[in-house]
Amino acid sequence: MKKVLLFLLLCASSASAEFYTWKDRAGTVFYTNSLHEIPARYRSRAMQLDVATGKKFPISAAGQPAGTAAPTATGAPPAPLTVATPVPLPTPPPAPTPAAGQPGSVQQLRASQPGAEQRPGFTIAPNNPAPTPAVSSTPRMPAPKPRTRPARVRNPEDE
């Protein structure tokens, strides 16, 4: 269990994300992970946080931290970006349906059991459930007896 927790902790710490911070006029410090959530008047003073080291970097006008490689203005063409295109997953071919005369077909099953059509309660049809047996293995419980009041004994002296 400790190894799993250690593995998850290492994976979580290696995840990269961009966090930004800025301070408003009242001195309140705000944090966000989206550059477009920073108000325009504070965007020039916003800083990007490096979570691994805890350092703050100013954000350039292009939206990248000043410490990272920005596109050069020397006229050199930027490196082409590789865009990953989704590859469709292969779909398996549909299962072949048994034709007449092939093993497992309804026609072949009917031919292998002569007289099955004449037996009552027995049909050969695809996707038909098996017939239910008339006899059940569960014990039968007696029906409850109706409740009757005891016979009232009349005493001739009571009348």
Predicted pLDDT at 67: 47
Predicted pLDDT at 146: 74
Residue 72 pLDDT > 70, yes or no? no
Residue 120 pLDDT > 70, yes or no? no
Which position has the higher pLDDT, 73 or 153?
Answer: 153
Predicted pLDDT at 131: 62
Which pTM does this prediction carry?
A: 0.31
For 85-121, give one letter per residue: b (16+ CB within 10 A) or e: eeeeeeeeeeeeeeeeeeeeeeeeeeeeeeeeeeeee
Which position has the higher pLDDT, 94 or 44?
Answer: 44
Burial of 47 (0-12, 13-18, 19+ CB in 10 A): middle
Sign of the alpha-carbon dihedral angle for 51, 54, 59, 65 = negative
Which position has the higher pLDDT, 139 or 70?
Answer: 139
Percent of the chain with pLDDT over 90: 1
Mean pLDDT across 110-120: 65
